[in-house]
Structure 1
């Protein structure tokens, strides 16, 4: 007896949400009902390494890269404008940046709440500006070595509570520009971040957990985080800390390296 197919659609969609997108898509060949279920799955987990196997030279084959990009296009087309909860995208050099940005904008338009982006397309790649004007994002993770291009007044992330910036380049105080647009932010994790030299400040009235891991040297580093409860700070020691507002701090871990 096929007990799985007798389950209600809502439960089957919940089960499919734990699969990778490729695995979930394979179920659509079972029947028309399963095709419709796949179109309603609220999570997308897209990883080009699942398609571009680590066999020597396979990634460089244009037909394989094209097959991966066409697959993602088809998945998004099948789902139409159905709501989406989580979106994870991992892709490396060779994938078309314009298509990557269209995928990201597609899920943003569908009200995605949790987004995890690991995009290794080189230093010239820029995220679409729509990422930073979302009214639905609650969690945002960005992991890649490319610069952020942020303009004050063009950023708004009112619902964002968790932000991770891994191996990102932030120049000219852009980190603080971003934090100023996140009034509900509670957790900030910036491992391996590349910040501009000179003065840097982390200022947030709502922030409760802060993790910094960087090899930058700063003349001055300030913390204006009155609600912060937990601080993990691994960094070269700055010459000065002009502002240290940590009135509610209850847990901290510091690992410093001296400057000579």
Structure 2
């Protein structure tokens, strides 16, 4: 792992940030740069990932991914009131980008070779690792190797986490794929599944919502580079977004956003991954 940090820290309360309602319509055939030059962007995000990307009851958005999205939009010349955030479920992200429903996606979007065949990525802007979330009273789950055929594991349909478990670990585990991670966590709390798997930073956010009830289990067993997904072949926009991510790292905003939305690092360190300018 290139990132060294303590994810057992409590998830701090976050400040609701100004954003436009998620009821934005589809984009036209223009590029992200062209739309930004008009002062507007439609950005795909998650609605239910504590610490990363959440839509509040008042319709405002907050979280680390939201801060990244707003910073990038600002560097492209778009103010917060020109941003429309729209939900981008894991299984629909590539289609939403290809169809022009969004200008780009900032939503714990792991960069993979398979996805790069369909969309382009700027970044990465963060590196996470896949882990497990279980109930604190669980005594028979110690890590991915303990997921036997009697265990029920939940992940999100279309996620790299679900595919990774299927292909490389616990092939006989009973894998349940739901639409969102919040649904998986609800199933975990209801005891209809035994564990949830996705990236550690996402799971830490959910654990922080219910102190003492849920816990992260074992060590991370992958490295997941989060990128900003955009339309295939849009090099101009990709280069501009890469420049924006680098600027966010260089001026300290990247670290400040993490500590504000995820939690203080204490004695841990957080090292940004190098940007891939392929």
Q: Above 0.5 in TM-score?
A: no
Higher helix share: 2
Higher relative contact order (CA 8 A, sep 6+): 2
Normalised TM-score (structure 2): 0.22
Normalised TM-score (structure 1): 0.23
